[in-house]
Structure 1
Amino acid sequence: MAGPTTAERGARQQEPSGPPPARRLRSARLRTIIILVTALVLLGAGAGWLLYGSKALRVERVTVSGTRVLTPAQVREAADVPVGSPLISVDTDRIEARLRQELPRIDAVDVVRSWPRGIGLKVTERTPVLLVEKGGKFVEVDDEGVRFATVSRAPKGVPLLELTVSRSGSAAASHRRFGEDRLVREAVAVARSLPAAVARDTRVVKVRSYDDISLELRGGRTVAWGSSEKGRAKGRTLAALMKAAPAARHFDVSVPTAPASSAS
C-alpha cells in the first residue's frame, strides 16, 4: 500500500497543534474573570476591615455648632455619640432623634460624619416669639406654637402672652371650639404679622377668644387686632395709622379696611 504523498505530508505539517483558537479565548476569559472576582473579594474584605476593624476610622471627637442658649457640652451629653466605635457604624438618625427628645429647644439638627475620626452636630435652636408666665418663670413659645423651654428670666424683646378667656358667653364657646393650643397658635400668628417697629414695642399679646386678640404696647398704648386673619394687611394698616396719628393711645385694625384710632 502506498504511503502518503508529499502534498499530504505538507498539509499535515501545516495543521495547528493544541486546542482550537475559540477554546483558548474562552479559557483566557475565564482566567480573567477569576482574577477580577478574586481581586474584588480581596478589596471588599480590605475595605470592610478598614471601615469596621481598623482604629484609623473610629470616632475620636464630637464637634458642635449653631448653639445660642444651649452649650456645646449639653448637646454632646444629650447626643451620647459612641466615641471609639467605627465611624461608619454610628446611627446618625438615632442621635438626631435623641437630641430632639432630650433637648426640646433644638428645632433642627444635622448629624454628619467628619472623616476620618469625627462626628459633627449642627444645631438650630428654636427662637421664642411669645412667653407664658407661669409660677414666676417663663415658658418660651416658638413660631409654630410649640412650648419648648422654661426659663427664669424673660428674654429681652419677647412679648408676654395672656390668655384671658372668659368661662361664659361667646368667649367660652370659642375656647371650647378651638382649645387653648389653637388660641396660642393664633396669638403666635399675630406676633409674626407685626411690623418690626411695632414688634419691638409690643409688651403683651392678649387673647380673649379666637376673634378678640389685642396688643399692649410701650407707653400704655393698645391695639384691637381681632382675629389672626389678614395679619399682614393689619400690620401694614397699623404702621400707617401710628405714623398718621402719633399721639393716639388706642388703635383698632380688626377691620383693616376701616381702621380707627383715638387719644383716649
Structure 2
Amino acid sequence: MITLPRNPLKGSERRDPADRSRRRFARRQWLRRWLVWRYVIGSVLLVVLSVVGVWLVFISSTLTVKHVDVQGSSLLSQQQVLAAAGVPDGAHLVELDLGAIRARVAGLAPVKHVDVSRDWPDGVLIRITERHPVAVVEIAGRFQAMDSDGVLFRTYARPPAGMPRVLSTATVSSDALAEAARVIGSLPSGLAARVDHVGVRGIDQVTLTMRSGATVLWGSDAQSVLKAEVLVKLLGHPARTYDVSVPGQPVTSG
C-alpha cells in the first residue's frame, strides 16, 4: 500500500514562480488597458448623450409647446390671457422668452402679478394674481374699479353697493389715486361707513365727504391711522369742516 503525504502542497504553491509572475503581469496589463478604454468609452457615451440631448431639445418635436394652461384668472377669460401671452404653438420650450410672455400678460389691466414657467415636457403654465377692488373711482360719469395700488382696471355699469367711492378727474395721476387708496385702506370700518365719498385733486390733496355733509381735509396718506383716531373724536363735535391734515393740531370750523 502507498501512503500519501499528510500535507500535500496546494495547487498554487506547486506552480512555477515564473508562471505566477507572468499571470500577475498579464493582470496588470489588462487593468491598464481597461483604464484607458474606460475613459474612451465614457467620452464616447458623453458625446452620444450630448448629441441626443441637443436633438431632443432643439430639433425633435417632443419638447415643443402643445398646450398653454392659465390659472388664477376670473376677470379675464382664458382666451384674453392667451391672446396677450402670444405663446407660439410648436415652439421649442427651451427657446421661449418667458420674460417677454410675462411682460405681455402683465400689460393687461386686471393683472397684478403673473408668473410664467415651462411645464415640461410640452406645456407652458401662466399663473395670474388679479387686482382686487378697494374703491370705485368716478371720472366723467364712468365708474372704474381701483385696487390698493391706485390702478384702474375695470369698468362698472353701476358702482357696487357698499364699496367706497372716489371722485376725481382724468388729469389726476396714478400716484394720487394710489394715495387715496391707501387712505381708504387705513379707515376703520366704523368710520368708513360714515364716509359718502373720497375726493382727490392731486398728491397730498385727499378729502373725505361724510354722509352728514361735513368735509374732512385729510391731506396726504401720512399718519392716516392717527388721523382716523383724531377724526373719530372730532366727529363728536358737529362742524362743517374738519382739518386733520396735521393730526397733532386738528382744526374744526362751522
Give 5+ residue unaligned stretches, structure 2.
1-15
Instruction: Please name the residue that 1:256 is paired with.
Output: 247
Q: What is the deviation of 1:113?
A: 2.0
Instruction: Please name the residue that 1:226 is paired with.
Output: 219
1:49 lines up with 2:55 in the alignment: yes
Check 1:218–1:59 CA distance in 2 against 1; reply closer, same or farther (3 A cut). farther
Instruction: Please name the residue that 1:153 is paired with.
Output: 157
> TM (normalized to structure 1)?
0.69
Q: Which amino acid aligns with 1:106?
A: V
Of 233, 236, 244, which aligns to 2:229? 236
Q: CA–CA distance in 1 between the matches of 2:148 and 2:61?
A: 45
Percent identity at matched positions? 34
Q: CA–CA distance in 1 between the matches of 2:245 and 2:37?
A: 85
1:110 lines up with 2:115 in the alignment: yes
Bigger CA drift: 195-204 or 85-94? 195-204
Q: Which amino acid aligns with 1:76?
A: L
Q: Which amino acid aligns with 2:104?
A: R
Bigger CA drift: 201-210 or 226-235? 201-210
Q: What is the deviation of 1:122?
A: 0.8
Q: What is the RMSD computed on CA atoms of the aligned residues?
A: 3.7
> TM (normalized to structure 2)?
0.72
Give 5+ residue unaligned stretches, structure 1.
1-9, 166-178
Kept after mapping to 2: 8 A contact 1:195/1:239: no
Q: What is the deviation of 1:36?
A: 1.2
Q: What is the deviation of 1:82?
A: 1.5
Q: CA–CA distance in 1 between the matches of 2:19 and 2:206?
A: 110
Residue by residue over 1:91-111, the C-alpha shift from the partner in whole angstroms, topping out at 9 and shown as x without a partner, is 21110011123x133221101
1:189 lines up with 2:182 in the alignment: yes
Kept after mapping to 1: 8 A contact 2:112/2:129: yes
* Residue aligned with 2:138, SS: strand
Kept after mapping to 1: 8 A contact 2:110/2:154: no
Of 88, 91, 94, which aligns to 1:85? 91
Relative to its length, the structure with more helix (as a share) is: 1
Q: Which amino acid aligns with 1:214?
A: T
Kept after mapping to 1: 8 A contact 2:131/2:147: yes
Q: CA–CA distance in 1 between the matches of 2:70 and 2:212?
A: 42
Q: CA–CA distance in 2 between the matches of 1:183 and 1:154?
A: 23
